[in-house]
Amino acid sequence: MLDSLRKAAGTWVAKLLLMLLVASFAVWGISDQIISGGGSNKVVTVGDSSVSTTEYRLAYDRQVNVLSQQFGRRLTRDQLTALGIDNQVLAQLVAGAVLDEQARDLGLGLSKDKLASLTAEDPAFQGPDGRFNRQQFDYVLRQVGMRPDDYFNSRAQMAVRQQIIEAVSDGLKAPDTFLRAVALYNGEDRTVDYLVLPKALVEPIKAPANDVLSAWFEENKQDYAAPEYRKISYIKLEPEDIVDESSVSDEQVREDYEKNKDRFTTPESRTIEQIVFKTPEAAQAARDSIAGGATFEKIVTAEGKTMADTSLGTLTKDRIADKAVAEAAFALAENEVSPVVQGAFGPLLLRVTEIKPQTVKSLADASAEIRKELALAEASRVLLEVHDAYEDARAAGESMKEAADRLKLKVVTIDAISRSAQAPDGTVINTLPQSRDLLQAAFEAETGVENPPVNIGSNGYVFYEVEGVTAARDRALDEVREKVVADWTKAETATRLAAKGEELRKRVKDGASLDVLAGELSLEKQTKRGLKRGTDDADFGEAGVAAAFSVGEGSEGLVSAPTGDAQILFKVVESFEPAGAGPDSVPEDARQQFAAGMSDDLLDQLVAQLQAQYKVTIDRNAINQALAF
């Protein structure tokens, strides 16, 4: 987090956040220094340095705004407290206060000229010409609710703190020894021999006795509980739900057809080939050869090209960018070769191999499409009127069905549906309009109450009512016996296979070879080469690769196969160090991240030491006062 802020610290706002977040990891250091005071407006006091209730509230509000943007909504006070925001802000302000006190002891300061220079250099306050702009300065401060004097005080304070921080961490680089170890670690690859242990080694699994099944069911009873179901009736209102094609007259269809006839016209297209020549003379010689009996294909071969090189595709005239080529190609008969054409890229010959003439869909063929479009357009126009008419009918006391019947709308009833859109038999009900939003609203609504509609896009609605609720309950074993037996069998198979794999792993550890085990079990010993840390191998998966690197060379291991229906028994055969592994082989961005992490650790230690060096007093009453609305 600190590293990302450093990269963005080109403006005073980013630097302010950097200063405030310096000690976000040191919140533990203030717990034994909290006192309760009375009547003070100082939240934090460190020697001669302090943080006022106003400063605490501003820092708190900044943090709330950042989190609200991340969550996409304004968080409540309870949610913020659960996230520990009050303590985070307090830790940040304590860190700033101890840095201020350290700066005071060291006699650090900032001249007015330097402060003016830093302000002028801040890109946030520069105009289009790259120079300081007073109007831009005033605008930015208004946006963050800060007065100029407050800014100058904060900017000077930040600059002084920055002197301490840079003295501790500026220019820090990860040591070459560390980077070399990283390169060796990341570059190592391994070869493993392995056996895939299938379920067949422990199957078939005998059906469980009733007492065994009952005990297992009781342990996992929550997995078989019936969720809450609701009976929901709804009306979907979109243009297609109220479309009336019969209201569109033949005359309207005819007028639209004539007005938009281009929509029903497919222009002529031609499949065109061309040969481009270096000179007009070469093009004319080729044309003469064709006139003398040579084929177009022979000329293509003589030019050292293939027929694929000559294809322009099947195009309409308006899609050919070169107008000279377009005019010439659309003047040719099918399979005719053109005279020499001076194209944009040189002299060329053209041939048209297929002509698709223009077609115009007749009024009779287009009428159904036009009628539907006109009816939908009219339905879109009157949709809000239907919406309002439905709302008015409900306000006047009509039921959903009565209002729907009068407006010729369709009521759909789902007898039972869960929050996850499942019916009691487990099938998914995927016919619900705006399913996610509708279910969320329906499971928060009361029974038999008219509710605000759920929006569908920009011009649709779903009116709904909850007609009944079936409470969640625990199911009896007899209701789900078949599924319980299947689940028990699957779990028991996995347990026995893991036990079998562990038994075989111990044999390998005691000296048995995978070849011997493969012979005994009628399995194939396989070899995997080039495994690298952090990869997702198709046969081993991420967990399998991690397991292969968790043991030393010559050691064995057992891991579940990525498919979940087998175990992999493996042995690391060889480990290979990467050639030329050194500091320079670590990517630059990774080196910067390591350096930033080490720098963060130093800053954390600095703040912790300063908190131990200076007496930090925290007034909880002042904090409560700062947060009071």
Q: What is the pLDDT of residues 234-270, one digit of tens each?
A: 999 999 999 999 999 999 999 999 999 989 999 999 9
**pLDDT(15) > 50:** no
> May I ask the CATH class of domain 229-240+386-470?
alpha beta
- Domains 229-240+386-470 and 268-357 equal at CATH topology level: yes
CA–CA distance, 226 with 263 (Å, rounded to integer): 55
Element at 312 (helix H, strand E)? strand 311-316
For 250, the 3-state DSSP assignment is helix
- In this predicted structure, what is the pLDDT of residue 117? 83
- In this predicted structure, what is the pLDDT of residue 20? 40
Q: How far is CA 374 from CA 241, 259, 265, 299, 592, in A?
A: 14, 13, 19, 55, 62
Kindly state the average pLDDT of the residues 335-345: 93
Q: What's the CA dihedral at 472, 476, 482, 483 to 10 degrees?
A: 40
Kindly state the average pLDDT of the residues 335-363: 94
34-35 and 616-619 as β-strands: parallel, antiparallel, unpaired?
A: parallel
DSSP state of 132: B
For 203, the 3-state DSSP assignment is coil
- In this predicted structure, what is the pLDDT of residue 144? 64
**pLDDT(276) > 60:** yes
Higher pLDDT residue, 8 or 511?
A: 511
2-172+599-627 folds as Triger factor/SurA peptide-binding fold (1.10.4030)
Q: At what angle do helices 85-106 and 53-71 cross, to 10 degrees?
A: 130
- In this predicted structure, what is the pLDDT of residue 152? 80
Of 10-14, 132-136, 246-250, 605-609, the one with minimum mean pLDDT is 10-14
Of 4-18, 431-445, 568-582, the one with minimum mean pLDDT is 4-18
- In this predicted structure, what is the pLDDT of residue 14? 42
> How sure is the predictor about 27, in pLDDT bands with cuts at 50, 70 and 90?
very low
Q: What is the pLDDT of residues 577-602, one digit of tens each?
A: 888 778 888 888 888 888 888 888 88
291's tokens:
């006139």
- In this predicted structure, what is the pLDDT of residue 529? 95
**pLDDT(8) > 70:** no
Strands of the sheet with 346-356, listed across from one edge? 311-316, 269-276, 346-356, 341-343
Q: What is the pLDDT of residues 104-133, one digit of tens each?
A: 888 877 778 887 887 888 888 888 788 888
- In this predicted structure, what is the pLDDT of residue 126? 83
**pLDDT(7) > 60:** no
- In this predicted structure, what is the pLDDT of residue 57? 83
What angle is formed at CA 401 by the lines to CA 395 and CA 405, rounded to 5 degrees?
A: 100
Q: Which residues contact 93 (CB under 8 A, 6 or more apart)?
A: 20, 43, 44, 51, 55, 56, 59
341-343 and 346-356 as β-strands: parallel, antiparallel, unpaired?
A: antiparallel
178 and 590 in contact (C-beta within 8 Å)? Answer: no
**End-to-end CA separation in angstroms for the chain:** 31
- In this predicted structure, what is the pLDDT of residue 629? 54
Instruction: With CA atoms as reference, report the closest residue to 413 among 238, 230, 239, 240.
Output: 230
Of 28-32, 124-128, 152-156, the one with minimum mean pLDDT is 28-32
- In this predicted structure, what is the pLDDT of residue 101? 81
Domain 268-357 has CATH 3.10.50.40: yes
Q: For the chain, percent helix, then strand, then coil, each to nearest 5?
A: 55, 20, 30
Average pLDDT across the chain, whole number: 87
Task: Indicate the domain borders of the chain.
Answer: 2-172+599-627, 189-217+482-576, 229-240+386-470, 268-357
